[in-house]
Amino acid sequence: MDSAKGSQAQCESLHTDIESFFQTAPPLKDHFDTSRKLREFIQQNSPTTGNGIGRRIVCVTSGGTTVPLEQRCVRYIDNFSSGHRGAASTEYFLKAGYAVIFLHRRGTCQPYCRSLPEDSLLECLELKEGESSIQVRESYSEDVKGAIRHNHEAIKEGILLKLPFTSIFEYLQILRMVATSMNSLGPYGMFYLAAAVSDFYVPWETMAEHKIQSASGPLDMRLAQVPKMLIMMRKEWAPVAFCISFKLETDTNILLEKADMALKKYKMNMVVANELSTRKEEVIVVANSGRITVRRDKTNSDVENPLIKLIVDRHSTYIEESAKN
């Protein structure tokens, strides 16, 4: 087989895998509600509808996807992602004037809540004398006020839409819905794919229905590869959007090589490479124009601050260049 035929065959097989993934995935419970919210959000913020209040729109993905092992799920495979990167980045995108679709794992870190303790309800609140009412502890008062104010303002202004997911099935179905809806934005739309997405999964139709029993001895299970959806993103879902993917490794020796590969293979505009243990200190942004190391500086507590500045800048250039073509 010559190489053109080989790559066409690969492409067809990917299409079949993707179609089969979506056809067999359990349908989203709140499909219609999510689709309505998305439509309204994009309509309201779109710079292309000419209502005069247009903003660029970014979809920030955040947190890890789970891989259920049973249809009536008792057990699942999970990953380390806390959602901190996505939550922090959302805050900086909002500050930069973007409208944000925050596609996040349920229960992970939320925008403006990063400084609150894990058990925030019990830690931040206390009973007042006589136990007739509750109040915020003085030591958390500023953080709680800030979280409530910023969140409410963003939601009220209609510039923050939060969409939750848990499993890989939910995540990819919602991502496809967001991407195809954002296609109308052309270069004004951006994808910032910071979620830690499972590489392997159990296809729904081969999955046990009930809780897997331990009486039959060790568990022997074959996981299928999750089809490479980034290819669909670039080819069909939102081909003109500005697209940033993330690459995480624990072995620094292969990190940049993998990031370069992702940039070319998936035709990303940028790939943000990070290493597990230093991910909050520095990231390396890989683009066709070269590599840039972005570090958390001493006066600023988040690496996401300079990172989002750089990305916004590159996005502006991309929009300008698209207008010339």
Residue 89 or 181: the one with the smaller Cβ distance to ligand PAZ is 89
Q: Per rule CB under 6 A, is residue 56 in the interface with ligand PAZ?
A: no
Question: Rule CB under 6 A: is residue 111 a binding residue for ligand PAZ?
Answer: no
* DSSP code per residue over 186-225: GGGEEEEE-SB--SEE--GGGSBSSPPPSTT-S----PEE
Counting contacts by CB under 6 A, is residue 241 touching ligand PAZ? Answer: no
With CB under 6 A as the rule, give the number of residues binding ligand PAZ: 13
**185 or 194, CB closer to ligand PAZ?**
194
Check the CA dihedral 182-43-38-315 and report its sign. Answer: positive
Q: What pairs with residue 106 in β-bridges?
A: none
Cα distance between residue 109 and residue 302, in whole Å = 15
Of residues 165 and 188, the one with the C-beta less far from ligand PAZ: 165
Interface characters, 183-212, with ligand PAZ (x: CB under 6 A): -----------x-xx---------------
Three-state DSSP at 248 gives strand
Kindly state the smallest distance separating residue 17's Cβ from ligand PAZ, in Å: 19
Q: At its nearest, how many Å lie between ligand PAZ and the CB of residue 107?
A: 12
Q: Dihedrals φ, ψ of 198, to 5°?
A: -55, 140
**Binding segment for ligand PAZ among 21-29, 177-185, 242-250, 291-299 (CB under 6 A)?**
242-250
Member of 246, 285, 302, 318 binding ligand PAZ (CB under 6 A): 246
| 296 lies in the binding site for ligand PAZ (CB under 6 A) | no
- What burial letters (b/e) apply to 29-38, b meaning 16+ CB within 10 Å? eeeeebeeeb
Q: Is 308 in the site for ligand PAZ (CB under 6 A)?
A: no
Map residue 170 onto helix, strand or coil. Answer: helix
Residues ≥6 apart with Cβ < 8 Å to 208:
69, 70, 71
Least Cβ distance, residue 280 to ligand PAZ (angstroms)? 7
The residue among 65 and 181 lying less far from ligand PAZ, judged by its C-beta, is 65
Which string of x and - marks every residue 64-93 that binds ligand PAZ (by CB under 6 A)? -----------------xxxxx--------
Rounded Cα distance, 65 and 52, in Å = 37
Q: What residues form DSSP beta bridges with 208?
A: 70
The least distance separating ligand PAZ from the CB of residue 247, rounded to whole angstroms, comes to 5
Q: Which helix (H) or strand (E) holds 284?
A: strand 282-287
Q: For ligand PAZ, what does the binding mask look like between residues 9 and 48, x meaning CB under 6 A?
A: ----------------------------------------
- The answer to whether 274 contacts ligand PAZ (rule: CB under 6 A) is yes
Least Å distance between CB 194 and ligand PAZ? 5
Interface with ligand PAZ includes 227 (CB under 6 A)? no
Residue 290's DSSP bridge partners are: 287
Query: Is-contact 272 246, C-beta < 8 A?
Result: yes
SS percent in the chain: helix, strand, coil, step 5: 45, 20, 35
Q: Residue 151 interacts with ligand PAZ (CB under 6 A)?
A: no
Binding residues (CB under 6 A) for ligand PAZ: these are 81-85, 194, 196-197, 246-248, 274, 279
